[in-house]
């Protein structure tokens, strides 16, 4: 039985995962996490300096989001050594994600300051290898944590799990939608409108919020954006045993 555990990339979402990590790991006997492999090795073998290494690898903003999971993972390894834990992200993927963030910020400034928007330029930012390049390494795990809406959609399509567990309200950000469009999971007929919301999300919600959780919550109270999700037929999942849609 394969289970996907969906969690939004916010401080609150990861914290909820951290609280349940030991429960899920014991229940399913093996679990795969979207963390860098080298970081997990350090946590398992050199717990003392693992968090210092994580701060350098993830940068302060990433560490703020993922720090609670790192602590929970350290405790899991110590308390339940028989549970199989794997980490399937690479250091290169984190470096690419950081570079992507800089590019998105530059495109946001260009759109807000000069009203210049090139959809092809935005979609190109989200080009990535197909998920099947990672899926093979997950075959031996019963539970797989999917971080973010677009990755959860891709894993569900590739793995076809028997169960989806949702730990916090999980909706696509405009960046998730662009990712799905660039990957061929959605058509691009609404790409310009999605880009407009991406600019709003970054330029108004993320920049003015203390945390990603706060920015995410602001996005989910934007009526126009929720109407866009309805038109695109993108589900908003609420916490529940099988990730029921909020609609």
pTM above 0.85, yes or no: yes
Confidence band of 47 (pLDDT split at 50, 70, 90): low
Alpha helices for 29-118 (secondary structure H): 37-45, 47-79, 91-114
Q: Using one digit for the tens of pLDDT, what is the confidence trace for 169-226?
A: 999 999 999 999 999 999 999 999 999 999 999 999 999 999 999 999 999 999 999 9
Report the mean per-residue pLDDT for the chain.
Answer: 91
Query: In which band, very low, low, confident or very high, does the pLDDT at 243 lie, cut at 50, 70 and 90?
Result: very low
DSSP assignments along 137-183, one per residue = GGTT-SEEEEESHHHHHHHHHHH--SEEEESS-B---HHHHHHHHHT
Q: Which of 146, 14, 27, 3 is nearest to 73 (CA)?
A: 14
Domains of the chain: which residue ranges?
3-232
pLDDT at 48: 65
């Amino acid at each position: 039985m394969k289970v996907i555990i969906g969690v939004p990339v916010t401080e609150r979402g990861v914290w909820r995962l951290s609280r349940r990590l030991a429960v899920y790991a014991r229940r399913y006997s093996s679990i795969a996490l979207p963390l860098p492999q080298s970081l997990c090795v350090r946590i398992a073998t050199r717990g003392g300096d693992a968090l210092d290494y994580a701060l350098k690898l993830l940068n302060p903003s990433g560490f703020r989001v993922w720090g609670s999971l790192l602590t929970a993972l350290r405790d899991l390894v110590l308390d339940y050594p028989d549970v199989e834990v794997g980490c399937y992200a690479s250091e290169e993927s984190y470096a690419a994600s950081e570079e992507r963030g800089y590019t998105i910020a530059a495109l946001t400034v260009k759109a807000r300051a000069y009203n210049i928007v090139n959809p092809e330029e935005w979609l190109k930012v989200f080009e990535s290898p197909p998920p099947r390049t990672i899926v093979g390494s997950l075959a031996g795990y019963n539970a797989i944590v999917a971080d973010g809406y677009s990755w959860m959609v891709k894993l569900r399509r590739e793995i076809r799990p028997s169960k989806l567990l949702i730990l916090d309200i999980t909706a696509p950000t405009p960046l998730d939608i662009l990712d799905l469009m660039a990957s061929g999971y959605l058509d691009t007929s609404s790409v310009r409108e999605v880009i407009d919301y991406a600019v709003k999300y970054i330029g108004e919600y993320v920049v003015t919020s203390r945390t990603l959780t706060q920015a995410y919550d602001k996005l989910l109270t934007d009526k126009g954006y929720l109407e866009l999700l309805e038109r695109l037929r993108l589900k908003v999942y609420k916490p529940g045993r099988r990730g029921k849609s909020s609609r």
